[in-house]
Amino acid sequence: MEVNGGDTAFVLMSAALVLFMTPGLAFFYGGLVRRKNFLSVLMQCFILICVITLQWVILGYSLSFGANSLGGLIGGLNFLGLSGVGMEPSPDYGTTIPHLAFMAFQGMFAVITPALIIGAFAERIKFSGFLVFMVIWATLVYDPVCHWVWGVGGWMRNLGALDFAGGTVVHINAGVAALVMALLIGKREGYKGGPFTPHHLPFVVLGASVLWFGWFGFNAGSALAADGAAANAFVTTNISTAAAGLTWALIEWKHNGSPTMLGAATGAVAGLVAITPACGFVGPMAAIPIGAGSSALGFVAVAVIKPRLGYDDTLDVFGVHGVGGVWGALATGIFAQKSVGGTDGLLFGNFHQFGVQAVSVLATIAYAAVMTFVLYKLVDAVIGMRVTKKDEIVGLDISQHREAGYTVLE
Amino acid sequence: MKYIIAVIQPHMLDEVREELKAAQVNLITVTPVLGCGRQQGITTIYRGMEEMGNLLKKVKIEIAVTDPFLQPTLDAIRKGARTGEIGDGKIFVFDLEDCMRIRTGEMGAQAIG
């Protein structure tokens, strides 16, 4: 195995793009909260880059990509502290790039997955409880599921489940955890079923745009080589996102009378989520129904189902990432095409693949839901997860961080 | 006619508005303001240095009423804004000389409601 310069350059640049998604997400989420909680959301996203990066190099990478242990349930400890992860390629992962480059690229995924969950409990979580919860969640939920899907010997990988860039590992995992967290932590003070007015929509658009940009690294980079598969993933990603952004705006136009900027931005993210597992397995034209379908389902989840059920998923992590992730994973089993990624889906007569996708979706939902529930109860009992009513009313910027995002006077 | 200015805790605004609605007072002007009274300011920290006594965010509401509505309005504001802690705010009442509705040119009590 020899290091290929082009592949290495591409994967390292992709890793930097994926890193940039987390601050992008911070602005996407931060613009949606009330101004008294803006910094708290930025801080939660930013500190996860710091904390999970360390968790990843010390333990997380090994649990995800270490030698198969416990019958495919988790990686072993052979890469603990990056031992044996060096400048030469790994025989198993990204065989034309340095093992360190693969590790760094995957580390960015480990960072953004818990960051996605932040949207569910925004505006009411205690920073200390949040930090401890996220480190444990990354270790006991993200790392094992990552191993199942992408680790050599992982049971979903052996089953033949297709997940090009993290539909199950990242989006279903985070989306389901988000729903459980929103239910457990409870509604915000004063929540009556409708949203509080977002404090700065231009930041939301900036954040969504950064996500769209960074997602090229996420999806195309997952080819782990500067090749045709990367180009296919790049193109399908862009098409799905465009279709989804347009679809959400059109649905709003019909349903509410006017297309909104927030709707187009939300739709774009839903499209990015849905194409993530599929981008290396479906052709460019299949990306249109995948993106449009994600927006249609997401809109129903966010605008119809959520108000009826009454849970307070502050920034609709479940509606966008959970629902979009499930749709994307199933759509991969529908639209996959042998000539693109080596496997046919339902449309091309392969019913088996659709079944395999469904199994991987259900297993991820079940594991993420149960583990998130248990970990939440644990951390809540020991440290506490929700701030006091007074701290919540004053806002998390002042109560958790003693600083303010905005001044009113100079 | 009276002109009422109240300075209240920002997060009590919704409850004050509900109480006012219940008292059939529907016209209100709201401004975000900064201030500090007996409740000391808050301390923030920037790069390790504390900044003491920043002014607190408050909400100022202004309402013009006819005399029979004065007491119900005061009661509604107090009911909605009171938490019992220092910092709940104050209500000021002024005599209001006159009032004109711009659209119709009506004056006085007719123009207020």
Give residue-wise pLDDT tens across range A308-358.
888 999 999 999 999 999 999 999 999 999 999 889 999 898 899 999 999
CB contacts, 8 Å: A404 with chain B: 44, 54
- Weakest-pLDDT range from A156-165, A267-276, B32-41: B32-41
Whole-number pLDDT of residue B11: 84
Q: What is the mean pLDDT of residues B27-38?
A: 87
Q: How far is B66 from chain A (nearest CA, A)?
A: 32
Cβ–Cβ of A190/B55 closer than 8 Å?
no
Residue in B with minimal Cα distance to A390: B11
What is this model's ipTM?
Answer: 0.71
pLDDT of residue A192: 81
Burial label for A110, CB within 10 Å (0-12, 13-18, 19+), is buried
Residue-wise pLDDT tens digits, B4-20: 999 998 888 989 999 99
Burial of B82 (0-12, 13-18, 19+ CB in 10 A): middle
C-alpha to C-alpha distance for A346 and A333, rounded to whole angstroms: 6
Model pLDDT for residues A155-172, shown as the tens digit of each residue: 999 999 999 999 999 999
Q: Do B44 and A190 touch (CB under 8 A)?
A: no
Segment (H or E) for A136:
helix A127-137
- A377: its two tokens: 């109860």
Whether A409 sits inside 8 A of B32 (CB atoms) is no
Query: What is the pLDDT confidence band of residue B51, given thresholds at 50, 70 and 90?
Result: low
Q: What separation in angstroms does the CA of A173 have from each of A219, A220, A298, A340, B47?
A: 17, 21, 16, 26, 36
- pLDDT of B39 strictly over 70: no
From CA A360, how far away is CA A163, in angstroms rounded?
9
Cβ of B44 and A398 within 8 Å?
A: yes
Quote the pLDDT of residue A224: 96
pLDDT bucket at A409, cuts 50 / 70 / 90: low
* Contact: A403, B55; criterion CB under 8 Å: no
Q: Which residues of B touch A408 (CB under 8 A)?
A: 32, 34, 55, 57
* CB pair distance less than 8 Å for B34 and A398: no
Nearest CA in chain A to B52: A402
Q: Report whether A398 contacts A34 (CB < 8 A).
A: no
CB contact under 8 A, B11 and A402: no
Q: What is the β-pairing status of strands B56-65 and B2-8?
A: antiparallel
**Inter-chain residue contact B57 with A398, CB threshold 8 Å:** no
Instruction: Report the alpha-carbon distance of residue A234 to residue A213 in Å, rounded.
Output: 11
**pLDDT at residue number A209:** 98
Nearest to A408 among B14, B45, B57 (CB): B57
Q: What mean pLDDT is reported for chain A?
A: 95
List the single best residue of B11, B15, B56 to mutate versus A (max A Cβ within 10 A).
B11
Q: Which CA distances in Å does B55 have to A399, B32, B38, B42, B87? A: 15, 12, 12, 7, 12
Angle at alpha carbon of residue B23, lines to B17 and B28, rounded to 5°: 45
Nearest to residue B30, comparing CAs of B45, B47, B12? B12
Q: Token pair for residue B104?
A: 């119709």
Q: Do A402 and B45 touch (CB under 8 A)?
A: yes
Chain A residue set in contact with B, beta carbons under 8 Å:
190, 393, 398, 402-404, 408-409
Between B9 and A134, the higher pLDDT residue: A134
Instruction: Give the dihedral sign, CA A194/A198/A202/A208.
Output: negative
Residues of A in contact with B47 (CB under 8 A): none
Task: Name the 3-class secondary structure at B2.
Answer: strand
What letter represents residue B54's amino acid?
N
- Supply the pLDDT for residue B41: 64
Report how many Cβ contacts below 8 Å link chain A to chain B: 19
